[in-house]
Structure 1
Amino acid sequence: MTSGQRVRQIANVLNATTLLGLLLAKCARTAVHTGPRGLMIATGYRWHLPFAQAFTVGNVVLFRAAPAEALANPALLRHEEQHSSQYAWCLGLPFLPLYFLAAGWSQLRTGNPGSANVFERLAGLEAGGYVDRHPMDPGPRRKRRRPAGKNARDGIEA
């Protein structure tokens, strides 16, 4: 483990998000294993929310897959590791409302919670299973009405 990964691990223990992740893993009855780079891997997550194939709380990465399948997708694990670092940078729990605001903004702009979500973009959209969509077309633009009796070019009464 690098010194940066160790600092992230300690930060996420101190800011209580790793403990929250372990509590969530226990409540969801997942199997927790020591993972690479200071991460903990919880496998067999069965709850309906969130809809993702994997998600992170602190240094705990929760996978729907079995242990062998979870580690067989290194790109997804790296993506989730980036979220672990984001928890540390956001000082823990503030990451959650910031993430949900970014997901809502993305949903409004693109029709999905990931494409315009700054946290997902920084973690790598494709690795996280997201499609890079452009902002949705806002629809036809309405012409602005000019005030009656004004010349459009110079604003002088006609």
Structure 2
Amino acid sequence: MKWGHRLRQIVNVLDLATPLGLLIARASGSRLSRGPRGLIIAAGYGWSLPHAGAFTVGNVVLFRAPQGTAGHDPGLLGHEERHCSQYAYCLGLPFLLLYALCAGWSMLRSGNPASRNFFERQAGLAAGGYIDRGGRIPDFRSHKRNEA
């Protein structure tokens, strides 16, 4: 494992993001296994929220897919791994609030929580299974009023 991966792993333990991810994985009945580059794969996540097929908390990548198939999509795993790095540079749990704010902004701008979400765009929309819907808030100032 490269030193950057080890540093991310240590930061995500110290900032409590990975321990929270492990708690969620255990409480949801997910099966844990070691993944590449310091990741922990939690397979068989069955809770209804979030709706995504995979999501990340610290260095724990939770997959709805059963053990044996979880983590085998290199594009999706790479996307989730970039979220692991985002947790580290946001110093852990503040990532959750920042992500929620970006998802809200994206909902306002595009009608979905990913298209204009800074974190999802940085992690790669297509790799995460998202479609870039674009979109802008209409500029009502540019429309002339019909004065009768």
Alignment TM-score, normalising by the size of structure 1: 0.87
Q: How does 1:1-158 map to 2 (within 5 A)?
A: 1-136=1-136, 138=138, 142-143=143-144
User: Aligned-pair RMSD on alpha carbons?
Assistant: 1.8
- CA deviation after TM superposition for structure 1 residue 108, in Å: 1.0
The 3-state SS of whatever aligns with 1:76 is helix
Distance 1:65 1:139 in 2: 43
Q: Percent identity?
A: 61
Distance 1:61 1:26 in 2: 13
Deviating beyond 6 angstroms after TM superposition, the runs of 4 or more aligned structure 1 residues are: none
Distance 2:32 2:75 in 1: 20
- Residues 14 and 135 of structure 1, relative CA distance in 2, 3 Å threshold: same
Distance 2:95 2:137 in 1: 29
Amino acid at match of 1:20: L
Aligned residues between the structures: 146
1:114–1:125 contact (8 Å) kept in structure 2: yes
2:63–2:71 contact (8 Å) kept in structure 1: no
Distance 2:21 2:137 in 1: 38
Alignment TM-score, normalising by the size of structure 2: 0.93
Distance 2:134 2:39 in 1: 33
- CA deviation after TM superposition for structure 1 residue 5, in Å: 0.3
1:43–1:67 contact (8 Å) kept in structure 2: yes
Amino acid at match of 1:92: G
Structure 1 stretches of 5 or more lacking a match? 146-158
* Cα offsets for 1:77-122 (capped at 9, x unmatched): 0000000000000001110000000001101111110000000000
